[in-house]
Structure 1
Amino acid sequence: MSMIIIAPEAAQERLHLGPLDTSVSLRTRAYAAIKTAIASMDIYGHAREIRVDERRLSEDLGISRTPIREALAHLENEGLVRSVPRKGVFIVRKSRDEIIEMITVWAALESMAARLAALHAHDDDLESLATRFGGLVAEPDDAVGEYSDANIAFHQSIIRLSGSRLLEEMTRNLFLHVRAIRVAALRQNRRIFTSISEHEAIIAALLARDADRAETLVREHTLGLAAHVQFHWGEPGGGDVHQQAAPV
Protein backbone atom coordinates (compact mmCIF):
# COMPACT_ATOMS: atom_id res chain seq x y z
CA MET A 1 0.00 0.00 0.00
CA SER A 2 1.34 3.44 -0.83
CA MET A 3 2.19 5.89 1.90
CA ILE A 4 1.79 9.63 2.36
CA ILE A 5 3.80 12.11 4.39
CA ILE A 6 1.76 14.54 6.43
CA ALA A 7 4.45 15.84 8.73
CA PRO A 8 7.18 18.50 8.95
CA GLU A 9 10.56 17.90 7.40
CA ALA A 10 12.13 17.04 10.76
CA ALA A 11 9.70 14.23 11.54
CA GLN A 12 8.83 11.88 8.71
CA GLU A 13 5.57 10.56 10.09
CA ARG A 14 3.55 8.82 7.43
CA LEU A 15 -0.10 8.04 6.85
CA HIS A 16 -1.39 4.90 5.14
CA LEU A 17 -3.33 5.90 2.04
CA GLY A 18 -3.81 4.45 -1.43
CA PRO A 19 -5.30 5.44 -4.80
CA LEU A 20 -8.96 6.42 -4.72
CA ASP A 21 -11.94 4.86 -6.48
CA THR A 22 -12.81 7.45 -9.11
CA SER A 23 -16.41 6.24 -9.43
CA VAL A 24 -17.30 8.49 -6.49
CA SER A 25 -16.75 12.25 -6.23
CA LEU A 26 -12.99 12.75 -5.93
CA ARG A 27 -13.42 15.48 -3.37
CA THR A 28 -15.65 13.25 -1.25
CA ARG A 29 -13.25 10.33 -1.47
CA ALA A 30 -10.22 12.52 -0.74
CA TYR A 31 -11.99 14.11 2.22
CA ALA A 32 -12.88 10.72 3.72
CA ALA A 33 -9.41 9.27 3.15
CA ILE A 34 -7.54 12.25 4.62
CA LYS A 35 -9.88 12.49 7.61
CA THR A 36 -9.47 8.80 8.36
CA ALA A 37 -5.70 9.13 8.10
CA ILE A 38 -5.65 12.11 10.47
CA ALA A 39 -7.78 10.15 12.94
CA SER A 40 -5.15 7.40 13.02
CA MET A 41 -2.30 9.77 13.86
CA ASP A 42 -0.75 10.42 17.26
CA ILE A 43 -1.10 14.18 16.84
CA TYR A 44 -0.38 15.03 20.49
CA GLY A 45 2.65 12.78 20.86
CA HIS A 46 5.19 15.56 20.27
CA ALA A 47 5.49 19.35 20.16
CA ARG A 48 6.11 19.71 16.42
CA GLU A 49 3.46 21.03 14.09
CA ILE A 50 2.23 18.49 11.56
CA ARG A 51 2.12 19.84 8.01
CA VAL A 52 -0.03 18.36 5.28
CA ASP A 53 1.97 17.84 2.09
CA GLU A 54 -0.51 18.60 -0.68
CA ARG A 55 1.82 17.32 -3.42
CA ARG A 56 2.24 13.95 -1.75
CA LEU A 57 -1.49 13.72 -1.11
CA SER A 58 -2.02 14.18 -4.83
CA GLU A 59 0.61 11.59 -5.73
CA ASP A 60 -0.41 8.93 -3.25
CA LEU A 61 -4.16 9.26 -3.79
CA GLY A 62 -3.61 9.28 -7.54
CA ILE A 63 -5.66 12.40 -8.24
CA SER A 64 -5.06 16.04 -9.14
CA ARG A 65 -4.57 18.78 -6.57
CA THR A 66 -7.97 20.39 -7.18
CA PRO A 67 -10.09 17.80 -5.28
CA ILE A 68 -7.32 17.68 -2.65
CA ARG A 69 -7.66 21.42 -2.08
CA GLU A 70 -11.45 21.11 -1.94
CA ALA A 71 -11.19 18.29 0.60
CA LEU A 72 -8.75 20.29 2.74
CA ALA A 73 -11.08 23.29 2.62
CA HIS A 74 -13.88 21.05 3.93
CA LEU A 75 -11.61 19.77 6.71
CA GLU A 76 -10.64 23.34 7.57
CA ASN A 77 -14.32 24.26 7.91
CA GLU A 78 -14.62 21.39 10.39
CA GLY A 79 -11.65 22.72 12.36
CA LEU A 80 -9.41 19.73 11.68
CA VAL A 81 -6.76 21.52 9.61
CA ARG A 82 -5.72 25.17 9.21
CA SER A 83 -4.19 26.99 6.28
CA VAL A 84 -1.29 29.35 6.96
CA PRO A 85 -0.42 31.75 4.11
CA ARG A 86 2.97 31.01 2.50
CA LYS A 87 3.53 28.11 4.91
CA GLY A 88 0.99 25.46 4.04
CA VAL A 89 -1.77 23.43 5.69
CA PHE A 90 -1.35 22.05 9.20
CA ILE A 91 -3.32 19.61 11.33
CA VAL A 92 -5.05 21.48 14.14
CA ARG A 93 -3.97 20.65 17.67
CA LYS A 94 -6.02 22.15 20.46
CA SER A 95 -4.75 24.12 23.43
CA ARG A 96 -4.97 22.58 26.90
CA ASP A 97 -8.10 24.57 27.75
CA GLU A 98 -9.76 23.55 24.48
CA ILE A 99 -8.82 19.92 25.09
CA ILE A 100 -10.36 19.96 28.58
CA GLU A 101 -13.53 21.52 27.19
CA MET A 102 -13.79 18.83 24.50
CA ILE A 103 -13.26 16.05 27.03
CA THR A 104 -15.94 17.55 29.27
CA VAL A 105 -18.44 17.56 26.41
CA TRP A 106 -17.44 14.01 25.50
CA ALA A 107 -18.01 12.96 29.12
CA ALA A 108 -21.58 14.26 28.97
CA LEU A 109 -22.32 12.52 25.68
CA GLU A 110 -20.66 9.18 26.42
CA SER A 111 -22.15 8.94 29.90
CA MET A 112 -25.61 9.34 28.38
CA ALA A 113 -24.68 6.69 25.82
CA ALA A 114 -23.75 4.36 28.67
CA ARG A 115 -27.12 4.96 30.35
CA LEU A 116 -28.95 4.18 27.11
CA ALA A 117 -26.81 1.09 26.55
CA ALA A 118 -27.56 -0.22 30.04
CA LEU A 119 -31.27 0.30 29.49
CA HIS A 120 -31.72 -0.80 25.89
CA ALA A 121 -28.72 -2.66 24.44
CA HIS A 122 -29.30 -6.29 23.51
CA ASP A 123 -27.93 -8.86 25.95
CA ASP A 124 -25.78 -10.40 23.24
CA ASP A 125 -24.19 -7.04 22.47
CA LEU A 126 -23.31 -6.43 26.12
CA GLU A 127 -21.90 -9.93 26.44
CA SER A 128 -19.84 -9.30 23.32
CA LEU A 129 -18.50 -6.09 24.86
CA ALA A 130 -17.51 -7.96 28.00
CA THR A 131 -15.87 -10.76 26.02
CA ARG A 132 -13.93 -8.38 23.83
CA PHE A 133 -12.76 -5.88 26.44
CA GLY A 134 -13.11 -7.58 29.80
CA GLY A 135 -10.03 -9.07 31.41
CA LEU A 136 -7.53 -6.98 29.45
CA VAL A 137 -4.12 -6.92 31.11
CA ALA A 138 -1.05 -4.76 30.58
CA GLU A 139 2.48 -5.27 31.74
CA PRO A 140 4.95 -2.39 32.10
CA ASP A 141 6.76 -3.38 28.90
CA ASP A 142 3.64 -3.81 26.77
CA ALA A 143 3.32 -1.58 23.70
CA VAL A 144 0.97 1.27 24.54
CA GLY A 145 -0.25 1.36 20.95
CA GLU A 146 -1.87 -2.08 21.16
CA TYR A 147 -3.88 -1.18 24.24
CA SER A 148 -4.64 2.27 22.82
CA ASP A 149 -6.49 0.67 19.91
CA ALA A 150 -8.56 -1.46 22.30
CA ASN A 151 -9.21 1.58 24.50
CA ILE A 152 -10.55 3.62 21.61
CA ALA A 153 -12.67 0.72 20.34
CA PHE A 154 -14.17 0.33 23.83
CA HIS A 155 -15.39 3.92 23.92
CA GLN A 156 -16.68 3.74 20.36
CA SER A 157 -18.62 0.61 21.32
CA ILE A 158 -20.37 2.38 24.19
CA ILE A 159 -21.48 5.16 21.85
CA ARG A 160 -22.71 2.58 19.33
CA LEU A 161 -24.54 0.50 21.94
CA SER A 162 -26.57 3.56 22.93
CA GLY A 163 -28.58 2.97 19.77
CA SER A 164 -28.64 6.73 19.17
CA ARG A 165 -27.51 7.85 15.73
CA LEU A 166 -27.57 11.45 16.93
CA LEU A 167 -25.06 10.68 19.67
CA GLU A 168 -22.83 8.96 17.12
CA GLU A 169 -23.05 11.99 14.85
CA MET A 170 -22.38 14.48 17.66
CA THR A 171 -19.27 12.63 18.79
CA ARG A 172 -17.81 12.00 15.34
CA ASN A 173 -15.56 15.05 15.01
CA LEU A 174 -14.87 15.26 18.74
CA PHE A 175 -13.60 11.71 18.53
CA LEU A 176 -10.64 12.62 16.34
CA HIS A 177 -9.10 14.79 19.05
CA VAL A 178 -10.31 12.78 22.05
CA ARG A 179 -8.81 9.64 20.50
CA ALA A 180 -5.41 11.30 20.07
CA ILE A 181 -5.54 12.71 23.60
CA ARG A 182 -6.31 9.28 25.07
CA VAL A 183 -3.42 7.73 23.15
CA ALA A 184 -1.00 10.34 24.46
CA ALA A 185 -2.31 10.18 28.04
CA LEU A 186 -1.89 6.40 28.27
CA ARG A 187 1.88 6.88 28.13
CA GLN A 188 1.90 8.97 31.27
CA ASN A 189 1.94 8.14 34.95
CA ARG A 190 0.82 4.49 34.51
CA ARG A 191 -2.61 5.65 33.35
CA ILE A 192 -3.00 2.48 31.30
CA PHE A 193 -3.56 0.49 34.53
CA THR A 194 -6.15 2.97 35.79
CA SER A 195 -7.91 2.79 32.44
CA ILE A 196 -8.16 -1.00 32.50
CA SER A 197 -9.64 -1.17 36.01
CA GLU A 198 -12.17 1.56 35.22
CA HIS A 199 -13.23 -0.20 32.03
CA GLU A 200 -13.87 -3.39 34.00
CA ALA A 201 -16.15 -1.52 36.42
CA ILE A 202 -18.06 0.06 33.52
CA ILE A 203 -18.56 -3.34 31.88
CA ALA A 204 -19.85 -4.80 35.15
CA ALA A 205 -22.38 -1.96 35.51
CA LEU A 206 -23.59 -2.43 31.94
CA LEU A 207 -23.99 -6.19 32.39
CA ALA A 208 -25.94 -5.55 35.60
CA ARG A 209 -28.21 -3.13 33.70
CA ASP A 210 -27.37 -0.51 36.34
CA ALA A 211 -27.95 2.60 34.26
CA ASP A 212 -27.20 5.06 37.06
CA ARG A 213 -23.87 3.43 37.89
CA ALA A 214 -22.86 2.97 34.25
CA GLU A 215 -23.57 6.62 33.53
CA THR A 216 -21.64 7.78 36.60
CA LEU A 217 -18.65 5.54 35.98
CA VAL A 218 -18.27 6.59 32.35
CA ARG A 219 -18.58 10.27 33.25
CA GLU A 220 -16.02 9.97 36.05
CA HIS A 221 -13.69 7.94 33.83
CA THR A 222 -13.69 10.60 31.11
CA LEU A 223 -13.51 13.53 33.52
CA GLY A 224 -10.52 11.75 35.04
CA LEU A 225 -8.86 12.14 31.64
CA ALA A 226 -9.62 15.89 31.77
CA ALA A 227 -7.99 16.12 35.20
CA HIS A 228 -5.01 14.17 33.90
CA VAL A 229 -4.60 16.59 30.99
CA GLN A 230 -4.89 19.57 33.35
CA PHE A 231 -2.10 18.22 35.55
CA HIS A 232 0.26 16.65 33.01
CA TRP A 233 -0.19 18.55 29.75
CA GLY A 234 2.27 21.15 28.48
CA GLU A 235 1.57 24.86 28.35
CA PRO A 236 -1.73 25.87 26.72
CA GLY A 237 -1.35 25.63 22.97
CA GLY A 238 1.82 23.60 23.25
CA GLY A 239 0.32 20.14 23.06
CA ASP A 240 3.63 18.61 24.20
CA VAL A 241 2.71 15.70 26.43
CA HIS A 242 6.32 14.87 27.20
CA GLN A 243 7.53 18.08 28.86
CA GLN A 244 5.13 18.05 31.79
CA ALA A 245 4.77 14.33 32.52
CA ALA A 246 4.88 13.40 36.18
CA PRO A 247 7.28 10.71 37.43
CA VAL A 248 6.04 7.11 37.23
Structure 2
Amino acid sequence: MKSPVRWPAPETPAPDLVIERFAPEQTYKTKVYVALKQAIANMDIYSSPEPKWIDERQLSERLGVSRTPVREAVAMLEQEGFVKSLPRRGIMVLRKTQREVVEMIQAWAALESMAARLAVVNATDDELKGLRKLFEGFDDSHKPSEHLGDYSSANIVFHQTIIRISGSKLLGEMTDNLLLHVRGIRQLTIGRDDRIGRSMQDHLGIIEALEKRDPDLAERLSREHTLGLAAYVAAHGQEIFD
Protein backbone atom coordinates (compact mmCIF):
# COMPACT_ATOMS: atom_id res chain seq x y z
CA MET A 1 0.00 0.00 0.00
CA LYS A 2 1.37 3.32 -1.06
CA SER A 3 1.91 6.02 1.52
CA PRO A 4 -0.29 9.09 1.11
CA VAL A 5 1.34 11.94 -0.73
CA ARG A 6 2.44 14.70 1.65
CA TRP A 7 2.64 18.08 -0.01
CA PRO A 8 5.28 20.42 1.39
CA ALA A 9 4.00 23.21 3.58
CA PRO A 10 4.05 26.62 1.88
CA GLU A 11 7.07 28.70 2.78
CA THR A 12 4.90 31.76 3.39
CA PRO A 13 1.32 31.86 4.59
CA ALA A 14 -1.37 32.77 2.10
CA PRO A 15 -2.25 36.47 2.21
CA ASP A 16 -5.25 37.43 4.31
CA LEU A 17 -8.45 38.01 2.44
CA VAL A 18 -8.86 41.77 2.03
CA ILE A 19 -12.44 42.98 2.12
CA GLU A 20 -13.40 46.61 2.58
CA ARG A 21 -16.19 47.24 5.04
CA PHE A 22 -19.31 49.01 3.97
CA ALA A 23 -19.25 52.70 4.91
CA PRO A 24 -21.68 53.15 7.81
CA GLU A 25 -24.19 55.97 7.89
CA GLN A 26 -23.04 59.03 9.79
CA THR A 27 -23.90 58.87 13.46
CA TYR A 28 -25.52 61.79 15.24
CA LYS A 29 -22.17 62.41 16.94
CA THR A 30 -20.42 62.74 13.58
CA LYS A 31 -23.13 64.96 12.14
CA VAL A 32 -22.99 67.26 15.17
CA TYR A 33 -19.18 67.28 15.01
CA VAL A 34 -19.20 68.35 11.36
CA ALA A 35 -21.90 70.99 11.92
CA LEU A 36 -20.21 72.40 15.00
CA LYS A 37 -16.79 72.53 13.37
CA GLN A 38 -18.26 74.42 10.42
CA ALA A 39 -20.01 76.81 12.79
CA ILE A 40 -16.71 77.51 14.56
CA ALA A 41 -15.04 78.18 11.21
CA ASN A 42 -17.73 80.78 10.49
CA MET A 43 -17.48 82.49 13.89
CA ASP A 44 -14.56 84.73 12.90
CA ILE A 45 -12.90 84.04 16.25
CA TYR A 46 -9.96 86.39 15.63
CA SER A 47 -12.01 89.52 14.90
CA SER A 48 -12.34 90.32 18.62
CA PRO A 49 -10.27 89.54 21.71
CA GLU A 50 -13.45 88.63 23.55
CA PRO A 51 -13.88 84.85 24.00
CA LYS A 52 -16.56 83.07 21.98
CA TRP A 53 -18.88 80.68 23.80
CA ILE A 54 -21.07 77.77 22.74
CA ASP A 55 -24.18 76.85 24.72
CA GLU A 56 -24.73 73.09 24.85
CA ARG A 57 -28.48 73.36 25.45
CA GLN A 58 -29.05 75.83 22.60
CA LEU A 59 -26.92 73.73 20.27
CA SER A 60 -28.94 70.65 21.12
CA GLU A 61 -32.21 72.47 20.44
CA ARG A 62 -31.06 74.01 17.16
CA LEU A 63 -29.79 70.69 15.81
CA GLY A 64 -32.80 68.77 17.06
CA VAL A 65 -30.76 66.13 18.88
CA SER A 66 -30.25 65.12 22.48
CA ARG A 67 -27.33 66.47 24.48
CA THR A 68 -25.44 63.16 24.33
CA PRO A 69 -24.17 63.46 20.72
CA VAL A 70 -23.48 67.16 21.37
CA ARG A 71 -21.25 66.28 24.33
CA GLU A 72 -19.53 63.56 22.29
CA ALA A 73 -18.87 65.99 19.43
CA VAL A 74 -17.58 68.63 21.85
CA ALA A 75 -15.22 66.04 23.37
CA MET A 76 -13.82 65.31 19.88
CA LEU A 77 -13.30 69.00 19.19
CA GLU A 78 -11.71 69.46 22.60
CA GLN A 79 -9.18 66.73 21.79
CA GLU A 80 -8.36 68.59 18.58
CA GLY A 81 -7.80 71.83 20.50
CA PHE A 82 -10.73 73.82 19.13
CA VAL A 83 -12.82 74.17 22.28
CA LYS A 84 -12.54 73.80 26.03
CA SER A 85 -15.34 72.81 28.40
CA LEU A 86 -15.32 74.88 31.58
CA PRO A 87 -17.46 73.69 34.52
CA ARG A 88 -20.43 75.97 35.25
CA ARG A 89 -19.38 78.34 32.47
CA GLY A 90 -19.89 76.53 29.19
CA ILE A 91 -17.87 75.67 26.11
CA MET A 92 -15.26 78.22 25.03
CA VAL A 93 -13.91 78.34 21.50
CA LEU A 94 -10.12 78.46 21.70
CA ARG A 95 -7.97 80.95 19.83
CA LYS A 96 -4.37 80.15 19.03
CA THR A 97 -1.56 82.39 20.23
CA GLN A 98 0.39 84.59 17.83
CA ARG A 99 3.30 82.12 17.83
CA GLU A 100 1.00 79.17 17.21
CA VAL A 101 -0.75 80.92 14.32
CA VAL A 102 2.57 81.85 12.70
CA GLU A 103 3.67 78.21 12.92
CA MET A 104 0.34 77.03 11.48
CA ILE A 105 0.67 79.40 8.54
CA GLN A 106 4.23 78.21 7.94
CA ALA A 107 3.00 74.61 7.93
CA TRP A 108 0.23 75.60 5.52
CA ALA A 109 2.82 77.23 3.24
CA ALA A 110 4.79 73.98 3.08
CA LEU A 111 1.74 71.85 2.37
CA GLU A 112 0.06 74.17 -0.11
CA SER A 113 3.27 74.75 -2.08
CA MET A 114 3.55 70.98 -2.53
CA ALA A 115 -0.12 70.93 -3.54
CA ALA A 116 0.62 73.57 -6.18
CA ARG A 117 3.47 71.44 -7.51
CA LEU A 118 1.20 68.40 -7.72
CA ALA A 119 -1.57 70.46 -9.32
CA VAL A 120 0.76 71.23 -12.24
CA VAL A 121 0.70 67.51 -13.04
CA ASN A 122 -2.74 66.44 -11.83
CA ALA A 123 -5.11 69.37 -12.40
CA THR A 124 -7.14 69.53 -15.59
CA ASP A 125 -7.24 72.62 -17.80
CA ASP A 126 -10.84 73.21 -16.71
CA GLU A 127 -9.83 73.13 -13.04
CA LEU A 128 -7.15 75.73 -13.69
CA LYS A 129 -9.65 77.89 -15.57
CA GLY A 130 -11.85 77.65 -12.49
CA LEU A 131 -9.10 79.26 -10.43
CA ARG A 132 -8.92 82.23 -12.79
CA LYS A 133 -12.71 82.60 -12.80
CA LEU A 134 -12.65 83.20 -9.04
CA PHE A 135 -11.18 86.65 -9.68
CA GLU A 136 -12.75 87.59 -13.01
CA GLY A 137 -15.47 89.59 -11.28
CA PHE A 138 -12.98 92.03 -9.77
CA ASP A 139 -12.08 95.07 -11.87
CA ASP A 140 -12.14 98.87 -11.68
CA SER A 141 -15.91 98.83 -11.23
CA HIS A 142 -15.78 96.08 -8.59
CA LYS A 143 -12.50 96.70 -6.75
CA PRO A 144 -11.39 94.08 -4.23
CA SER A 145 -10.58 96.84 -1.73
CA GLU A 146 -14.19 98.04 -1.89
CA HIS A 147 -15.67 94.54 -1.66
CA LEU A 148 -13.57 92.92 1.06
CA GLY A 149 -16.18 90.29 1.90
CA ASP A 150 -16.44 89.07 -1.68
CA TYR A 151 -12.69 89.03 -2.18
CA SER A 152 -12.02 87.35 1.15
CA SER A 153 -14.42 84.54 0.22
CA ALA A 154 -12.78 84.11 -3.19
CA ASN A 155 -9.39 84.13 -1.49
CA ILE A 156 -10.30 81.26 0.83
CA VAL A 157 -11.84 79.24 -2.03
CA PHE A 158 -8.65 79.80 -4.06
CA HIS A 159 -6.46 78.22 -1.39
CA GLN A 160 -8.92 75.38 -0.76
CA THR A 161 -9.01 74.67 -4.50
CA ILE A 162 -5.22 74.49 -4.80
CA ILE A 163 -5.29 71.72 -2.20
CA ARG A 164 -8.18 69.92 -3.88
CA ILE A 165 -6.84 69.93 -7.44
CA SER A 166 -3.49 68.60 -6.25
CA GLY A 167 -5.17 65.21 -6.29
CA SER A 168 -3.75 64.35 -2.86
CA LYS A 169 -6.37 63.24 -0.37
CA LEU A 170 -3.77 63.23 2.40
CA LEU A 171 -2.88 66.89 1.85
CA GLY A 172 -6.56 67.70 2.15
CA GLU A 173 -6.81 65.88 5.45
CA MET A 174 -3.62 67.46 6.79
CA THR A 175 -4.74 71.01 5.97
CA ASP A 176 -8.34 70.65 7.14
CA ASN A 177 -7.76 71.72 10.74
CA LEU A 178 -5.09 74.26 9.81
CA LEU A 179 -7.52 76.06 7.53
CA LEU A 180 -9.95 76.82 10.34
CA HIS A 181 -7.40 79.14 11.96
CA VAL A 182 -5.51 80.28 8.84
CA ARG A 183 -8.70 81.40 7.10
CA GLY A 184 -9.66 83.52 10.11
CA ILE A 185 -6.33 85.31 10.05
CA ARG A 186 -6.45 85.75 6.26
CA GLN A 187 -9.89 87.36 6.52
CA LEU A 188 -8.75 89.65 9.31
CA THR A 189 -5.55 90.87 7.63
CA ILE A 190 -6.57 90.99 3.97
CA GLY A 191 -7.80 94.60 4.14
CA ARG A 192 -4.73 95.99 5.92
CA ASP A 193 -1.74 97.83 4.46
CA ASP A 194 -2.76 97.21 0.83
CA ARG A 195 -2.31 93.48 1.34
CA ILE A 196 -5.32 92.94 -0.88
CA GLY A 197 -3.51 94.40 -3.92
CA ARG A 198 -0.46 92.20 -3.38
CA SER A 199 -2.74 89.23 -2.75
CA MET A 200 -4.43 89.61 -6.13
CA GLN A 201 -1.07 89.89 -7.92
CA ASP A 202 0.25 86.82 -6.09
CA HIS A 203 -2.82 84.77 -6.98
CA LEU A 204 -2.65 85.65 -10.64
CA GLY A 205 1.07 84.80 -10.67
CA ILE A 206 0.39 81.39 -9.13
CA ILE A 207 -2.40 80.73 -11.63
CA GLU A 208 -0.13 81.68 -14.55
CA ALA A 209 2.59 79.32 -13.29
CA LEU A 210 0.05 76.51 -13.03
CA GLU A 211 -1.25 77.19 -16.54
CA LYS A 212 2.32 77.09 -17.87
CA ARG A 213 2.71 73.73 -16.11
CA ASP A 214 5.83 75.02 -14.34
CA PRO A 215 6.08 73.04 -11.06
CA ASP A 216 9.12 74.87 -9.66
CA LEU A 217 7.60 78.31 -10.19
CA ALA A 218 4.13 77.32 -8.94
CA GLU A 219 5.63 75.79 -5.80
CA ARG A 220 7.86 78.80 -5.09
CA LEU A 221 5.20 81.45 -5.67
CA SER A 222 2.67 79.59 -3.54
CA ARG A 223 5.13 79.20 -0.68
CA GLU A 224 6.29 82.82 -0.81
CA HIS A 225 2.70 84.08 -0.90
CA THR A 226 1.69 82.27 2.28
CA LEU A 227 4.96 82.94 4.08
CA GLY A 228 4.23 86.62 3.44
CA LEU A 229 1.14 86.21 5.64
CA ALA A 230 3.22 84.49 8.33
CA ALA A 231 5.70 87.38 8.29
CA TYR A 232 2.88 89.93 8.53
CA VAL A 233 1.30 88.16 11.52
CA ALA A 234 4.70 87.91 13.21
CA ALA A 235 5.29 91.65 12.72
CA HIS A 236 1.78 92.90 13.53
CA GLY A 237 0.66 90.31 16.05
CA GLN A 238 -0.06 92.84 18.79
CA GLU A 239 -2.71 94.52 16.64
CA ILE A 240 -4.37 91.18 15.94
CA PHE A 241 -4.11 89.25 19.19
CA ASP A 242 -4.39 91.95 21.85
| TM above 0.5 | yes
Secondary structure of the structure 1 residue equivalent to 2:238: coil
Name 2:35's counterpart in structure 1. 33
2-side partners of 1:150 and 1:37: how far apart?
19
Deviation, structure 1 residue 77: 0.8
What's the Cα RMSD here?
Answer: 1.8
Residue 134 of structure 1 and its aligned partner are, at CA, apart by 4.9
- Which residue of 2 is the match for residue 105 of structure 1? 107
CA distance 1:220–1:178, shift in 2 (3 Å): same
Pair member with larger Rg: 2
SS at match of 1:79: coil
Matches within 5 A, 1:73-152: 73-134=75-136, 136-137=138-139, 139=143, 142-152=146-156
2:177 to 173, 176, 181: 173
Aligned to 1:184: 188
What amino acid is the match of 1:199? H
Partner Cα distance (2:31, 2:130) in 1: 32
Q: Residues 166-195 of structure 1: CA distance to partner in whole angstroms, max 9, x if unpaired?
A: 101111111111111111111322211111
> Match for 2:220 among 216, 223, 236?
216
Q: Residues 55-81 of structure 1, C-alpha deviation per residue, up to 9 Å, x if partnerless?
A: 210111111211111110011111111
The 5 Å alignment of 1:52-71 reads: 52-71=54-73
* Letter in structure 1 aligned against 2:100: E
Please state whether the residue corresponding to 2:146 is helix, strand or coil.
Answer: coil
SS at match of 2:91: strand
Q: How many correspondences in the alignment?
A: 216
Give the conservation status (yes or no) of the 8 Å contact 1:114–1:218.
yes
Cα distance in 2 for residues equivalent to 1:207 and 1:213: 11
State the shift of 1:41 in Å: 2.1
State the alpha-carbon separation in 1 of the partners of residues 124 and 63 from structure 2. 40
Shift of 1:135: 6.7
Report how far residue 139 of structure 1 moved.
Answer: 3.1
Cα shift at 1:164: 0.5
Structure 1: runs of 5 or more not aligned: 1-22, 241-248
For 1:113 and 1:229, how far apart are their aligned partners in 2?
23
Question: Secondary structure of 2:45's partner?
Answer: coil
Aligned with 2:213: secondary structure?
Answer: coil
Work out whether 1:199 is the aligned partner of 2:203.
yes
Question: Residues of 1 paired with 2:63 and 2:38: CA distance?
Answer: 13
8 Å Cα contact 1:52/1:91 also seen in 2: yes
Counterpart of 1:12 in structure 2 is none
Q: What is the CA-CA distance between 1:140 and the residue it aligns to?
A: 7.1
Aligned residue identity for 1:159:
I
Distance 2:136 2:211 in 1: 11
Greater shift, 137-146 or 77-86, is seen at 137-146
Q: CA deviation at 1:141?
A: 5.8
Matched position secondary structure for 2:110: helix
Q: Which ranges of structure 2 fall in alignment gaps of 5 or more residues? A: 1-24
Q: Structure 2 counterpart of 1:151, which letter?
A: N
Percent of aligned positions that are identical: 54
Report the residue type matching 2:109 in the other structure. Answer: A
Between 64-73 and 100-109, report the one with greater CA deviation: 64-73
